[in-house]
Amino acid sequence: MRSPAGHVILPVLFLIISFCASRAAEPFVPGGPCTRGRVTLDAQAVLSDWGTLLRGACWSQDSHGNVFNRQDLDVLKNCGLNTIHLYAEKNDDKPVGFEVEHVDSIVEWCRQDSMYVILTFGNSYLQGGYDKVLEFWRFYAPRYKDMTHVIYEEKNEGCYGTYHCEEAPMQCYRDCYEIIREIAPETHVMMMSHSNLQGGINPLYEDIDRLGPEIDWTNASIAFHGYGTTGGFQEEAARKLGGDGYAMTCTEFFPNGGLEAAYESAAISYCHFIWCDWINGRSIEAHCERIKPLNLSYEPDFGNWPRPHIDPPVVGIASYGPTTGSRLSQSAVSRLFLNPALPRDAQAVYDLRGRLVWRNQPDMGSPIASSEPCLPPAATGTVLVVKKGP
């Protein structure tokens, strides 16, 4: 016999479950075309569509109830950063999708500002949340699968401590990958996100082997955290694994100068574990004041720190097919400038900032036709196109 309270609790639970299911079924509709293309891989790094490293700071929506500040994106860009590492939700008593409105806002604002988002499930360890991690990806993987500026990082520190990782988080990584790949085949996936590299390089290779042959490493990479080992060792690991086709990104560490120098030297992407609001209430302005004295040197995607950004030169049409990196003939470029319809052999168009504007589709029956929701409609006049060099 149910208590009177049960008559209240069960309908409430039903409403929560129904709410989450209905939100998951709704597609995310951006306010305009994507301003950044998919990330690419070189020998050892995840790179932006402009060929630059991802350099970011974190936001922990999973650990507080504050709302992301839209204006903070401008501060991030002036700090030489182009990425937000977003801990979206975690294993707690809230249903999956509870933070979706805030996550949607961050994804949309980053789209508007040409920033990347690395989306992950929070907590260290699985903490009994195996099923919730899978539910998280069933909810979010379809939501942002067409957002070319969004990267999926399976689970923050599912394996906490040194390698080897326990079997439960390893299986969770495999299951997450299967879910994401089925739903979002084009989205880049960052695997593992172990809490450090203290186990050494050989156990890291063994953990990669344990993931299995199903992983397509042409669109997946290894995430790790920069605790407990020297910058020199981490650089060595990144170069070693990169030489074997496994790109690496440090998605969490505290700024100190030495690690940044190692990552810049190894030419791999990285995100600071700071400007998470719950860490002593630090602001993004305070984060900028902490990293600016670190004597970093690179050309940012935006702004003038640590060196001025320089727009790439106009070079014509860039190939985005099997001959990536080659250019079409000057006659094809001339035809482009004279005709709003692209040459039939064109593969891709970039804007003056090196951002992908249009990708060729099998059916070229109409000018600049595309089925991709993030790409803009046909241009009606002269189109300048560029290739952004590394």
Amino acid at 206: E
Domain shared by 263 and 341, yes or no: no
d(CA 68, CA 384): 35
Domain shared by 45 and 193, yes or no: yes
**51 contacts 353 by C-beta, under 8 angstroms:** no
DSSP 71-132: THHHHHHHTT--EEEEEEE-SSSSPTTTTHHHHHHHHHHHHHTT-EEEEEE-SSS-TT-HHH
> How many H helices and E strands in the chain?
10, 12
d(CA 310, CA 300): 9
In a domain, 262, yes or no: yes
State the Cα angle at 176 between 59 and 150, rounded to 5°.
Answer: 40
State the pLDDT confidence band at 125, using cuts at 50, 70 and 90: confident
Amino acid at 20: C
Domain shared by 388 and 263, yes or no: no
In a domain, 10, yes or no: no
In a domain, 299, yes or no: no
Domain shared by 106 and 222, yes or no: yes
Residue 366 to residues 251, 344, 378, Cα–Cα distance (Å):
42, 11, 9
In a domain, 17, yes or no: no
Q: Cα 101 from chain centroid?
A: 19
Least reliable range by pLDDT among 5-9, 102-106, 301-305: 5-9
Report which listed range, 25-34, 127-136, 265-274, 336-345, is most confident: 265-274
State the pLDDT confidence band at 358, using cuts at 50, 70 and 90: low
How do residues 155-181 score in pLDDT, each as one tens digit? Answer: 988 887 766 788 888 999 999 999 999
Domain shared by 320 and 201, yes or no: no
In a domain, 358, yes or no: yes
- CATH code (residue 175): 3.20.20.80
Cβ partners under 8 Å of residue 11, min gap 6: none
Which three-class secondary structure state does DSSP give residue 39? Answer: coil
Q: Which domain holds residue 119?
A: 29-294
Least reliable range by pLDDT among 208-222, 231-245, 327-341: 327-341
How do residues 244-302 score in pLDDT, each as one tens digit? Answer: 999 999 999 999 889 999 999 999 999 998 877 655 566 888 888 889 899 899 999 99
**193 contacts 251 by C-beta, under 8 angstroms:** yes
Domain shared by 183 and 105, yes or no: yes
State the Cα angle at 39 between 71 and 337, rounded to 5°.
Answer: 90
pLDDT, residue 81, reads 95
Q: Measured in Å, how far apart are the chain's first and last C-alpha atoms? A: 69
- When divided into structural domains, the chain yields a total of 2
Among residues 228, 259, 294, the one where a domain terminates is 294
Domain shared by 277 and 341, yes or no: no
Counting residues of the chain whose pLDDT is more than 90, the rounded percentage is: 45
Domain shared by 289 and 336, yes or no: no
Amino acid at 283: S
pLDDT, residue 312, reads 55
pLDDT, residue 33, reads 79
In a domain, 239, yes or no: yes
Residues listed for the chain? 390
Q: Considering the entire predicted model, what is its pTM?
A: 0.80
